[in-house]
Chains A and B, each alone.
Chain A
C-alpha cells in the first residue's frame, strides 16, 4: 500500500531537469460498475436509458467497468461487440471487465477492453454461480476474508456501484457521499478483517490534505490539522491531536472505531454516523477518546 499526497494534479509543475515523455501515476478514481445479470440487450437498453435519464450528467461519457461475475459462464457467452455498441449509444464508455472467466476475458480483450481485478462482494441470491477460482478470479490476499453483510451504512460509497482503483491519498477529495447506483439495490459490504496491514502516516496531515486508507486501518503518528482529513475503511488511530476531519468505517464497516489521544476534531464519522465539532460534548474535548457507531449515531467514550 502506498501513500501519495498530492493535490489537484492539473497544475502540478513538472521537473525541468528531466524532459520525460510521460509520467505514470497511480490515482484513485471512482468507476461505475455495470453488473450484468442478463444479456438481453433490448431489456438492458430500456433500463439503462431510464437510469441515465435520472442523472444524465453523471453518466455522460462515463467510463464503466462490466462486471461479468453474475453471468452463468463468467462472460464466456457474451458477444461484446453489440454490447459495447449499445453502451456507447447510451453515452457510456466501457473500459474494462471484471470478474470474468478465462474465456470471457479473452473475448473482452479481443474487443479492446481491459481486465480489472475486483474483489467481488456478491450477493448470494444473484450470484448463484460460483466464481471460477482460476486466474480470472478476483484477487484476494491470502487469508483475507470477505464477509457479506447488509449495508447498514448511509455512506457506503463504493459498494457494488463503484470501485476504487487503488489505495491512495488524494488532496481535495470530497468526503465520500452516497453515489447513484447502477446495480440493483441489495448491497454487500466488504469487511476489513485486518488482513491488509494498516497504513501508517508519519508526517502531520495538514490543511487540505486527505489521507484515505482503503480496506485497512489507518495510523497517524502526527497531528491532523484543521482542514485536513483522514479516512479509513477500517479503524483510525491518531497519536497526535485530532483537529481536522476523521472518518472510520468509510464503507460502512459497523465495527470500525476512531481512537485518538486528543479529540478536537471538526468532524468525526464512523460507519455512516457523523458528529460535528459543536456536537462533541465539551467534557470530551481535548481528551483521549474512542468513538464508535451505535444505532446509527456516534458514541464517544474514554480511551
Chain B
C-alpha cells in the first residue's frame, strides 16, 4: 500500500525541503521503501540536501516527457537503504509538470513497491505547488511560528481541501502540522507565536515541533540529512515526527524551554 505525501507550506524558506529530506530518510531508515520527489522545477534543491547532486543525470521532467526511464532517473541513496530521490530539472520551468505525466510517474512508483512517496512542494501556490499536492493522500504542512507563515499555511490547507484529486472525488486529505524553527525562549518573551496559537488557528493535528538549530544549516551544507546524526535535538525531533507519522504515540518535545542547571547557566 503506497502513500503519496506532500510537504507544503505556501511560504518559502520555512523548511519544506529539509523536512522532506529528513522524513524520507527517517522512513527509509525504519525499513520503508521511500522516494522523495523534488517538484521545485527550475530551483532544484532536494538533491543537495540529500547529498546526491553529483549523481543527477536524468530528472523528473525527463521521466514525465518520456526522455528517460523512471528506474534510470531514480537515484538510490548510498548511505540509507530504501531511500531514493527523483530530482527536479534545473533547466526547465514548472509548465513542464502536467497532471497526466505526474500521475503516471506516481503510479509507476507505486508499481515499483514504494511505500512512501514524499512530494517536496515548491513555495507558492502556483502550478508546481498545485501539482505536488494534487495526487496526495496525506499532507505535511510546514510552518514557522510567525504570522505570515501561518497564514500561508492556512491558505495551503484551503487548497488541499479544494484543489486536489481527493477533494474532487469528495475525500479529504489527512493534514498534519509541522512547526519548524521553533524557539521556546522567544515564545516565552512573546516574540514568537506559540504552538497553541498556531494550532488554534490552523486546527489540524500537530505532527511535531522542530527546534531552531544550527544543525539544520550544517547538515544541509554537508548533504547529510540531520536525522542521521541522532545526537542533535533536530534529529531527535525529526525521529519523533517519523514515529508519529507511522502511528506511534510520542510525547511532544522541544515546546518548552529547557531548564538549565546552574552549571549550564554559568558555562553553557
Contact = CB atoms under 8 A, between A and B. Distances in A.
Interface of A: 5-7, 11-17, 19, 171, 203-204, 206-209, 222-223, 225-228, 243
Contacts of A226: 151, 154, 201
Which among B100, B103, B162 has the greatest number of chain A C-beta atoms within 10 A?
B162
Interface stretch (B14-22, B52-60, B124-132, B252-260): B124-132
Contacts, number: 70
A80 to B, nearest CB: 40
A104 B99 CA distance: 46
B237 to A, nearest CB: 26
A195 to B, nearest CB: 28
Interface of B: 98-104, 126-127, 130-131, 134-135, 151-152, 154-155, 157-159, 161-163, 165, 168, 201, 203
Contacts of A7: 159, 162-163
A250 B99 CA distance: 38
A13 B161 contact: no
18 contacts: A6-B162, A7-B162, A11-B127, A12-B130, A12-B163, A13-B98, A13-B130, A16-B102, A17-B103, A204-B203, A206-B154, A206-B157, A206-B158, A209-B158, A225-B151, A225-B154, A225-B201, A228-B158
Contact of A15 (B157, B162, B165): B165
Task: Determine chain B's interface SS by DSSP, over half rule.
Answer: helix
Contacts of A208: 155, 158-159
Contacts of A225: 151, 154, 201
A207 B151 contact: yes
Given A11-B130, A13-B99, A13-B127, 7 more contacts: A16-B135, A171-B162, A206-B155, A209-B158, A223-B201, A223-B203, A227-B155
Which among A16, A222, A227 has the greatest number of chain B C-beta atoms within 10 A?
A16
A160 B147 CA distance: 42
Contacts of B103: 15-17
Contacts of B134: 13
A114 B203 CA distance: 45
Nearest to B151: A207
Contact of A5 (B135, B162, B203): B162
A227 B154 CA distance: 9
Contacts of B126: 11
A206 to B, nearest CB: 3
B154 A5 contact: no
B131 A13 contact: yes
Nearest to A6: B162
A6 B154 contact: no
B204 to A, nearest CB: 9
Contacts of A19: 100
B99 A16 contact: yes
Contacts of A207: 151-152, 154-155, 158
Contacts of A14: 99
Nearest to B100: A16
A5 B134 CA distance: 15
A204 B175 CA distance: 13
A225 B158 CA distance: 10
Contacts of B104: 16
